[in-house]
Structure 1
Amino acid sequence: MSAAGRRDNRSAKRRKTAPRAFGAPTEDDLPTPQAQANAPSAVAWSTRSLPPDHVPSLVTICIRVFAENLKDLGKDRHIWEHIRHCLKLVPDHLVPRVFATLRATCPTILSHPFIQAFFLRGPAITLGSDLPGVRNATIAAIGESASVRALLKLELSGFEKYQDSLFASVVSKAVSLQVLILRGCTKVGPKTVAAAAKYCPQLTVINLKYTAVPPAALAPLLLNCKKLEVLKIAGIPNWTDAAFAKLLVALGPSDELQFPSLRSLNARQTHLSDASLNPVLAACPGLKRLDVSFTLVRHPASLLSTNTSLEKLCLTSTKISSNELIAVVSKSPKLKTLNIGALGGGQGSSAAISNSSAMTMTDQTLRSLTDALEQCSELEHVNLVGNTKLGMTGQRDSAISYFIRRVGRRCKVLNLAGISFLRSSDLEGLQSEIVEQGEPKLRDLVLNQTTVDDQVAPYISSCPLLERLELAGTKVTSE
């Protein structure tokens, strides 16, 4: 093959996409401190589509082909009439799958009349503000549909203009709801939550992130929905200890408070402290997933003193002391995910994040934490992003190297972005010949905004299962 042919072949294999800068936009990371454009090397971003590891079902293939050709099918009036007839015959349980594929393939042609006529039925309905055809009437039509009383899951995300009463009217009709997601519907408030508490006793999951629900409005929901397992209240404005105190009063005496079914609580990006969360967590003996990142929480050991079943703990940008962090991890042998980015940063302040003196995660802390994490045999995901004090001592056998060798190599996801003193040699523990523990299990490795260079290549190459690698802002060259 000619040189030009090889170049063309390489170009065909690689599709460049916009980079996901350090930290943003995932919920587990921090705001980006530096764009890729400022990176000191020629690191290129690219994605390569992996071949499927299984043969798709015939139903899946048919749905994909239909979605890819919908626009052309609509050009012929006679064919379109046949399509409309066929869509009405699609079984209810397949409707959400068909709509999800259409949403991903051709969202701009999903008009309000089209959605209302064919897709507001089935066990689950998912609408988002990213769909240009969805409007006020589309959401209202959910409550007017013949199958709304049998609806099990309702997801309405990102609708910032629509009033609380609109969502309340729909929820009040969906009496069989088990999952209610209203993430980013910024005007959802007391009316919607009151409707859910009164008419949806089977709720197991409710997501109110980035809404306007006041704490006190949750009292009837927590008391009436006995099966509630997942509660997400992150990013709600004005959630302070003073406002939360009204909820605690409405719930009754703390010694009688019990939420035995609650398994997951997300209260990140609120102004709540131990005083607010302590009574609630004490009433959740079966809690498995807790996210209090970017809050005022300081003492998780006291909050989780009776809980040994924790599987996910997120404490990013909180002022947790080293001793308390290690105490919590030591009592959580079933831990699978630990997010402890920028400890000491507090409330996600960019000024604090860039201030190394504010960080509390030191090399000594990481060594002790590593010893505690070794007992967590199911650990899969560790996020240390933005802990800028790590590696400052410059020792050959650094704390990061110690962590990689004994814990990091057996994780599936490892985020070390923003650790400015991270060196290539710190990843030496990924080599099987260095550590006799078999091949590393890493599938996702993030090293953005670190000082690793080309010498890291053999260590990364020791990870045969690796699927995603991020090197933005490092000294790794194109070669």
Structure 2
Amino acid sequence: MPPKPQPAHKKAKTTSNSKSGPSSLALGAPTEDDLPSARAFAPSSSAYSERTLQNDASVPTLVSLCIRVFAENIRQLARNQDTWEETRQHLKILPDAILTRIFTLLKATAPTVLNPAFITSFFFTGSVMILTSDLPGVGKQTISDVQKFGDKLRDLELSGFETFPDSLFASVVSSLPGLRSLVLRGCHKVGTATMQATAKNCTELRLVNVNYTSVTPLSLVPLIQVCGQHLEVLKVAGISNWTDTAFAKLLAGLDADTQLPSLHTLKLRGTSLTDMSLNPIISMCPSLRRLDISFTLVKHPAILSDPETAPPLEKLSLTSTPIFGTILIATIRCHPHLKTLSIGALGGGQATNAAMGNSSGLTLTDSILRVLADNLSGCALLDNVNLVGNAKLGTTGKFERALELFVRRVGRRCKKLNLSGVVSLRSSDLAGLMPEDDEEPSSLEVLNLNNTAVDDQAAIFISTCPYLHTLEVQGTKFTSDGLFTIIDACTRLSRLDLTSCRGVRVRDRRRFFEVWKDERGDNSS
């Protein structure tokens, strides 16, 4: 079931010694070799079972090995004053790229060693800086010190600092004229002052992410006026003050012919906008490729369902919007180049999990799904479909094979298929995964069946997916025997979610690949 939009990154207490999971690893991230055990430091109630496949194993570079060993031993090095002083001298002469990778790994595996002095002395370098509230040592002074980067900094992410004032962030961006990317996600008090300072001093921005802040539509007017010609990504999700009335003030502050010609990604998820606001903003974005209007009040996006006005979308997210099936189909027909489509819990209400759990308002039915399958079968590039939470599917007797038809005509061609929360999904509906005649096998790599009625009878169908590497069967009726059948056939399968899977013993859920190996004998790989 899709979650209600929530403020991101709850602020961690600065005295906490708890382990922290990895932060956003956008730019300057380590390679996968740098993070072999990071997941062990991220507490979770989910029962994921994972394995490393021999044919996927690669020899890490010497640099990656050195970074890993340093991170694993940093606490021991810090205990000895002489050793630590020598270590600090070595850190000072490392290239910026290596320091960035070390910093990212330490944030994932040893966040408590990153006190403010250590961070600013050794990791305030290069052109990328990512700081989140998950780091116990990051306070107002550390944020303020980001100004020391000056015109060298290109990409800045400060996420989850809920209590820090707008003025703090305004002062920081005022000293960073070289910024190309600014992410302030979850910094609740970021608002007009920061946007004014950004517009005045950061005139080359390509990406702006102010999700879950207090930024108003009107406060973006100066930024659009200055950066609008080259702005490529704009994300303003989860801001309650984005209403039609507030958005009208943005339009009034812009010239009538204002265009955002380079904007290819727009995220309005979790706002209170309706068609009244969506249509004019989309008309300003002729090159739009990725649009997320999930959890909004958009009901009839006329501009998206008119072939004369629809932008060339590759990704469209409509989850939990009050869009009716007929409008959805008209919209899909105008976007033959879609790669990603999220249409979870259509009609389920804008805001709450409770509303989405109530199927009475849902609008995606079996009859609509059959027509949708006809239209999506012509989208040759489609590789990711999300139907999560559409609880009316599979409940109409006249069209009882609608889900199987959709899986056969659309789902099996995708790389990712999410059917989570489609509570009437049955094992027989997955028969569509099996190839017919001379068909190629399914392309599926990720299949989500969480909280559905599927059981071991689905194993024979899932087993025909040779590329499958992630299978989520949380809260289903699978037993160990059915899962053994799938692992035997799907040799690339490396990740299982068995949370609340009652057919599997609790003690086996997080080590299921080991259980399978023991069951099948030492020759299993």
**1:128 maps onto 2:129 in alignment:** no
The residue identity in structure 1 corresponding to 2:186 is: G
Aligned mates of 2:349, 2:437 — CA distance in 1: 36
Correspondent of 1:374 among 371, 374, 377: 377
3-state SS of paired residue (2:272): coil
Same amino acid, percent of matched pairs? 52
Aligned mates of 2:3, 2:296 — CA distance in 1: 18
Aligned mates of 2:91, 2:372 — CA distance in 1: 56
**1:385 maps onto 2:395 in alignment:** no
Q: Which residue of 2 aligns with 1:251?
A: 254
Aligned mates of 1:26, 1:78 — CA distance in 2: 49
Aligned mates of 2:319, 2:121 — CA distance in 1: 45
**1:359 maps onto 2:362 in alignment:** yes
Do 2:5 and 2:270's aligned partners in 1 also have CA atoms closer than 8 Å?
no
**Aligned in 2, Cα 1:397/1:362: closer, same or farther, shift over 3 Å?**
closer
Do 2:4 and 2:352's aligned partners in 1 also have CA atoms closer than 8 Å?
no
1:26: how far off?
9.5
Q: Which residue of 1 aligns with 2:493?
A: none
Aligned mates of 2:118, 2:51 — CA distance in 1: 32
Q: Which residue of 2 aligns with 1:299?
A: 300
Do 2:298 and 2:321's aligned partners in 1 also have CA atoms closer than 8 Å?
yes
3-state SS of paired residue (2:48): coil
Correspondent of 1:141 among 135, 142, 145: 145
3-state SS of paired residue (2:49): coil
What does the per-residue CA deviation read over 1:189-213, in whole Å, with 9 as the maximum and x for residues that have no partner? Answer: 1111111111111111110000011
The residue identity in structure 2 corresponding to 1:371 is: D
3-state SS of paired residue (1:47): strand
- Aligned residue runs from structure 1 range 56-455, under 5 A: 56-143=60-147, 145=148, 147-225=149-227, 226-253=229-256, 256-303=257-304, 305=306, 306-394=309-397, 398-432=401-435, 434=436, 436-455=438-457
What does the per-residue CA deviation read over 1:455-479, in whole Å, with 9 as the maximum and x for residues that have no partner? Answer: 0111111112212111122222233
1:349: how far off?
2.9
1:97: how far off?
1.5
Do 2:394 and 2:400's aligned partners in 1 also have CA atoms closer than 8 Å?
no
3-state SS of paired residue (1:125): strand
1:57: how far off?
2.4
**Aligned in 2, Cα 1:435/1:345: closer, same or farther, shift over 3 Å?**
farther
The residue identity in structure 1 corresponding to 2:127 is: P
Q: Which residue of 2 aligns with 1:34?
A: none
Aligned mates of 1:278, 1:23 — CA distance in 2: 25
What does the per-residue CA deviation read over 1:55-96, in whole Å, with 9 as the maximum and x for residues that have no partner? Answer: 322222221111111111112212211111111112123322
1:342: how far off?
0.5
What does the per-residue CA deviation read over 1:281-331, in whole Å, with 9 as the maximum and x for residues that have no partner? Answer: 011010000000010111224246323521110000111121221122111
**Aligned in 2, Cα 1:378/1:53: closer, same or farther, shift over 3 Å?**
farther
Aligned mates of 1:26, 1:74 — CA distance in 2: 41
Q: Where does structure 1 lack aligned partners over 5 or more consecutive residues?
A: 1-21, 28-43
Aligned mates of 2:479, 2:178 — CA distance in 1: 56
What does the per-residue CA deviation read over 1:121-180, in whole Å, with 9 as the maximum and x for residues that have no partner? Answer: 11100000000011110001111x2x3211010000000111011111111111110110
Do 2:341 and 2:386's aligned partners in 1 also have CA atoms closer than 8 Å?
yes
3-state SS of paired residue (1:113): helix
Q: Which residue of 1 aligns with 2:38?
A: none
Q: Which residue of 2 aligns with 1:54?
A: 58
Give the TM-score of the pair, scaled to structure 2: 0.80
Aligned mates of 2:4, 2:412 — CA distance in 1: 25
Do 2:425 and 2:453's aligned partners in 1 also have CA atoms closer than 8 Å?
yes
The residue identity in structure 1 corresponding to 2:370 is: R
1:350: how far off?
3.0
3-state SS of paired residue (1:290): strand
Q: Where does structure 2 lack aligned partners over 5 or more consecutive residues?
A: 7-45, 482-525
The residue identity in structure 1 corresponding to 2:316 is: L
Give the TM-score of the pair, scaled to structure 1: 0.88
1:421: how far off?
1.1
Aligned mates of 2:67, 2:3 — CA distance in 1: 33
